[in-house]
Chains A and B, each alone.
Chain A
């Protein structure tokens, strides 16, 4: 690209600083078209399987993450269906006890580790760079590696399950049941190693998101102008970073106990199985908020869009989410009320658990205020999903407050009351908003609208089916039906409610099939969406649907919190990023002032190879301890291959000094 003369002059006058250029010729339509053609070539990924595997586009990886996570959701759902068939009548012999144990463990593990967390992080991977006006996500190759680790971990779990080696000690895998004394064979090793796969993936995605949100926001998007969804993802990423190390260490210790005879959870030799529960729930409770906060972010975006006004109380919303995250780290012991705690511990954790109600309520009241003062309320499918949150999640929240009190918890601990509670919280608090969010952002991802008629049908089926399945479980729990039993006697009188729950599960199945049909039909025949079909306010709607690989051209800057609604403000777009390199603009953390240009790495096969090597080591190591040593060699080789610069780049010794001299680090 030939530089304009005035440009060169300005560069000399004002070296190292961004400059405003009035009537810039680079914004003329013809010039922009040329630039876009160049960008298309620079950011193109190429064709073929290898190019597909190597892709570093956050939208492609985000879509893959979403599809894979929903694939696991389907598998987990089928397992749930099998359990409901087994429990539909007393003393059923559809599943044997051993298989039932594996199935409920696989169901919980799949839904928590292979669906709920990856799917919300995937929404962040797809949306965050677009919402902050960036051309790419930070560390795209790392992200690609994270995706493959997630996929390989899930495949590993299911392969082992089909070999009758599926984990069978529940999704929280308590020793001594999961320990070397009682956990036979490789089943619990498979569980512990699956956790390693998912934590590697989760921590990588969280790091990519933190760096993107802190450093790649477009100029003008100071922290207090970030969309609420971006805030939610930032807070969640920090939660992942602080919570996951706890499960890293607890699952590592479990596998060490099992494979090399350490005694960390062995009471007889100076260890303690309760330590597992502390470590697990120190991660496990924040995990609930990791799943739930992104859904709150989606709620805020959809509610604002459908009521045509900004969300009431932006600062309070942000602070509430942050407060939820903080308090969320101080409540883990309420999962352990029946382990015999000192009185003070019980009181503290009861108080902390009840305190969570405050920030959650602030958000709910703020949404109600937003809806109350809506300019014009539009009752389309995404909105229905969000509205159902108020009903479903609040029921789950109320039973949560009940469970936070020790006397009640002691009564219903490990009964179906708890099962009902967390399905209301997780499905109501996360899956409903997620399905609504997917409906909402589907046009951005695919360029086509989903069918409103099928959308409404699937929503109402899901809503009815969900309540029919899980509401009776409250009653079953109060009547004393324990969770994780493969059958029950007719004399217990749990027959009708269980049958009702199974019928509800069948309706949920139909609802999700309708949702899937809607996706498949709309992909081909949906109405063409255009850039901003819902009239939303955030930057992802400023680009085409689906967006080009470089997201924006020219990259916009912002002058308000709702850039697409404040058309009276026309902040200057960015010029001067080199279209022949994958250049992105890095900005300062607080006010997003321009800092430097940064060339993003392009597609590479190395992350995929490194993921294969890492997976090989992980799987090998559960069979032979020496796998850790020998299996690390291919990992090292692939990482060196990844890190080593490819030929053709200009080296420093060969005259890049002129460029470098612009930097202030030299002065």
Chain B
């Protein structure tokens, strides 16, 4: 594109013909990728601020947790395993979308949904295994906020993916919807990866630190 740096002095009307360009793109070339990236930064900042608040409140009391046992490890760990395993169908759905392979997109989206449903079900149990109520003390409040905020993410992503799956199964799929599938998969990675530090904070900060 060096011509644009120098300009076109006195060579008559020249045009830049873009009609041959494709009308979609994946990854960082697409607008949707950047919007998803902004979204991930925003949500990531929210998680970071809650974790900072957790650490701040931890420093204000002599014992952590102030009373009662720390959260049971079992269900949180089961859920971490489910989340990590869901990365596989997620990766396959993303790959299929980038190849416009509708059959495989449908298949792997449905598998992803099964994982997300399982995750949400276990998450329900996880709350009851925290061994503290949100209104017991400051510790309980911040743990519930942290877990609750992550839950809104898995829940909204579950609903969001359901719509996308319904669209892939029954609706018209144009090129941009494949880009959406790909970016939706990217966002799911974020939901999974952001869980790991939260898991560490909720389950191990009261035990180790």
Contact = CB atoms under 8 A, between A and B. Distances in A.
Given A262-B135, A652-B175, A588 B29 contact: yes
B138 A263 contact: yes
B175 A18 contact: no
Interface residues of B, number: 73
Instruction: Identify the interface centre among B20, B34, B56: most chain A CB within 10 Å of its CB.
Output: B20
Contact of A215 (B18, B34, B167): B34
Contacts of B26: 665
Contacts of B145: 249, 252-253, 256, 262, 264
B60 A640 contact: no
Given A245-B46, A264-B53, A554 B7 contact: no
Interface stretch (A373-381, A491-499, A656-664): A656-664
B137 interface: yes
A569 B41 CA distance: 40
Given A249-B46, A645-B171, A645-B174, A596 B14 contact: no
Nearest to A566: B7
B102 A207 contact: no
Contacts of B53: 249, 253, 264, 275, 279
Contacts of B12: 22-23
Given A210-B34, A596-B25, A662-B20, A591 B1 contact: yes
Interface stretch (A3-11, A436-444, A615-623): A3-11
A544 interface: no
Contact of B25 (A271, A282, A586): A586
A645 B29 contact: no
A53 interface: no
Nearest to A581: B23
Contacts of B24: 596, 598, 660, 663
B14 A22 contact: yes
B15 A585 contact: no
A599 B26 CA distance: 15
Interface string B56-77: 1100110000100000000000
Interface string A634-645: 001001100111
A569 B9 contact: yes
Contacts of A599: 23, 176
B193 interface: no
Nearest to A220: B4
B21 A597 contact: yes
A138 interface: yes
A377 B13 CA distance: 35
A345 interface: no
Interface in A4-28: 7, 10-11, 14-24, 26-27
B17 A211 contact: no
Interface in B133-189: 134-142, 144-145, 159, 163, 167, 171-178
Interface stretch (A96-104, A398-406, A572-580): A572-580
A252 B49 CA distance: 12
A26 B174 CA distance: 29
A166 B45 CA distance: 30
A206 interface: yes
B18 A597 contact: yes
A653 interface: yes
Contacts of A27: 13, 15
B114 interface: no
B201 interface: no
Interface in A569-608: 569-578, 583, 585-586, 588-589, 591, 593-599
Contacts of A583: 23
B18 A576 contact: yes
B19 A652 contact: no
B145 to A, nearest CB: 6
B29 A651 contact: no
A18 B20 contact: yes
- Which of B12, B14, B28 is most buried by chain A, counting CB atoms within 10 A of its CB? B14
A249 to B, nearest CB: 5
Interface string B16-46: 1111111111101111001100110111011
A651 B173 contact: yes
Nearest to B144: A262
Contacts of A249: 46, 49-50, 53, 145
18 contacts: A20-B15, A24-B17, A211-B31, A211-B34, A211-B35, A216-B31, A256-B134, A264-B57, A270-B66, A271-B141, A557-B16, A572-B14, A577-B19, A586-B29, A599-B23, A659-B22, A660-B100, A665-B25
The 10 closest A-B pairs by CB, nearest first: A576-B19, A569-B7, A270-B138, A559-B7, A262-B141, A245-B45, A651-B172, A663-B22, A271-B138, A220-B4
Given A256-B134, A282-B49, 8 more contacts: A15-B20, A26-B15, A220-B1, A241-B38, A269-B137, A271-B138, A275-B56, A596-B29
